[in-house]
A and B are shown apart, each in its own frame.
Chain A
């Protein structure tokens, strides 16, 4: 489809409407999205900041405060705000814009809300491509605000350069923090609502924990920053920490995180290609036909499908 490259050109030229329409196309998926993905040229200097944390921790508020501050440093910002889809109707209420009121009307900011369509991990399936589009459109910083995440929703680390974990005070004792998961993928930790009295204890615990984790002197030391939207404190230091991590990454391009991200990207590309060519094969139709039979063993069916597929000659 030649439409893909014409659209990509408009995006590269900074056409916001073309970008918005492209994001819709990407969300819907399919061949048009694939053609577009190939025509888009992401910019190497784009930094992706993933903002994650429990529901109500203050992700949207902090994203807004951080974006307002980063704008004062002359950088443009694309924001992807992801909210959950209803498992029942498939619909979604995407409400992050309510707290992003102060960013409305700034032409250096582009905000897009996305439903996660039931995907786990706190991000949507089309997130990586949406980031690619925002980068191609020239936004310097892309802020990815995840669905309110649990301890194991670490998928954000697969697409973000810098993972900013938002913890609110009094969310549990030290043991919660020692557990594996989100805390392990965090590059910067913000303790929100730090105007509250119990915030100091949370800050101290997290700092002690971070020191325990990073015995290796070559590794990035995770900064723990107290912030408060009410008192309007800590945002400058947090922005410094987040941007410093970006610079650190640029100096350590071969780190384990970057490698893992490339592996995940490869896996993802393969997944899409495999499923696409599989769904065009007759063995897929055969499998669909048996799917609705009573007592159908899906796992066995999948194995059978793969065996049949391997047996069919592959077109080039």
Chain B
């Protein structure tokens, strides 16, 4: 199995104090049904724990679900820690309740590749992940 055709590995995590995991579970299931390996880590993770899991699992994508309002604090910490761990080419996607203005800042200055708000279809997310990962893998080859 070569790099391009290997299953995409995705870490789905919920950073910080946030008990709402239905969205994350729906996404995990949809990504599995799209043929991806989804590592679901559960609730209440610190940015450090998320990055350590991403490193050990050698994932292509880190998906962060956050509905607590702490996204401007926690998401930049995750992306900074990813960079520091040498995982800068990990695709980072976020979902949950994130206002449009914040989403823009996260994407332009904090290394989040995409933010998916309520109403996004799982197909949109799958399509984005597939093309982003294909671009990273093509750049590595």
Residues 60 to 82 of chain B near chain A (Cβ within 8 Å):
none
Q: Chain B CB within 10 Å — which of A20, A111, A113 has the most?
A: A113
Chain B contact residue count (CB 8 A cutoff): 34
Contacting pair B45 A21 (CB below 8 A): no
| A115–B7 alpha-carbon span in the complex (Å) | 10
**Which chain A positions have C-beta within 8 A of B49?**
104-105
Q: In the complex, which residue of chain B has the Cβ closest to the Cβ of A101?
A: B42
Residues 76 to 103 of chain A near chain B (Cβ within 8 Å):
86, 88-95, 97-98, 101
| A110–B28 alpha-carbon span in the complex (Å) | 23
| A110–B44 alpha-carbon span in the complex (Å) | 20
| A94–B44 alpha-carbon span in the complex (Å) | 18
| A101–B39 alpha-carbon span in the complex (Å) | 13
Contacting pair A91 B33 (CB below 8 A): yes
Mostly, the A contact residues are mixed
Kindly state whether residue B1 has any CB partner on chain A within 8 Å.
yes
Contacting pair A89 B32 (CB below 8 A): yes
Residues 1 to 49 of chain B near chain A (Cβ within 8 Å):
1-3, 6-7, 9, 28-29, 31-42, 44-46, 48-49
**Which chain A positions have C-beta within 8 A of B53?**
97, 104, 111
Kindly state whether residue B52 has any CB partner on chain A within 8 Å.
yes
Given known contacts A30-B2, A98-B42, A105-B48, A89 and B33 CB-to-CB distance under 8 angstroms: yes
Contacting pair A104 B45 (CB below 8 A): yes
Kindly state whether residue A23 has any CB partner on chain B within 8 Å.
yes
Kindly state whether residue A310 has any CB partner on chain B within 8 Å.
no
Contacting pair A95 B45 (CB below 8 A): no
| A22–B44 alpha-carbon span in the complex (Å) | 29
A113-155 toward B: CB 8 Å interface, digit per residue (1/0)?
1010000000000000000000000000000000000000000
Task: Name the distance in Å between B125's Cβ and chain A's nearest Cβ.
Answer: 14
Contacting pair B35 A94 (CB below 8 A): no
Kindly state whether residue A24 has any CB partner on chain B within 8 Å.
yes
Contacting pair A91 B57 (CB below 8 A): no
Kindly state whether residue A112 has any CB partner on chain B within 8 Å.
yes
| A105–B6 alpha-carbon span in the complex (Å) | 28
**Which chain A positions have C-beta within 8 A of B136?**
none
Q: In the complex, which residue of chain A has the Cβ closest to the Cβ of B54?
A: A20
Question: Could you list 30 examples of A-B contacts with CB < 8 Å?
Answer: A16-B56, A17-B87, A21-B58, A27-B6, A28-B1, A28-B3, A30-B1, A89-B32, A89-B34, A90-B35, A91-B31, A91-B32, A91-B34, A91-B37, A92-B38, A93-B28, A93-B32, A94-B37, A94-B38, A94-B40, A95-B39, A95-B40, A95-B42, A97-B39, A97-B53, A98-B40, A104-B53, A105-B52, A112-B56, A113-B39
Chain A interface (Cβ < 8 Å from any Cβ of B) = 16-17, 20-21, 23-24, 27-30, 86, 88-95, 97-98, 101, 104-105, 110-113, 115
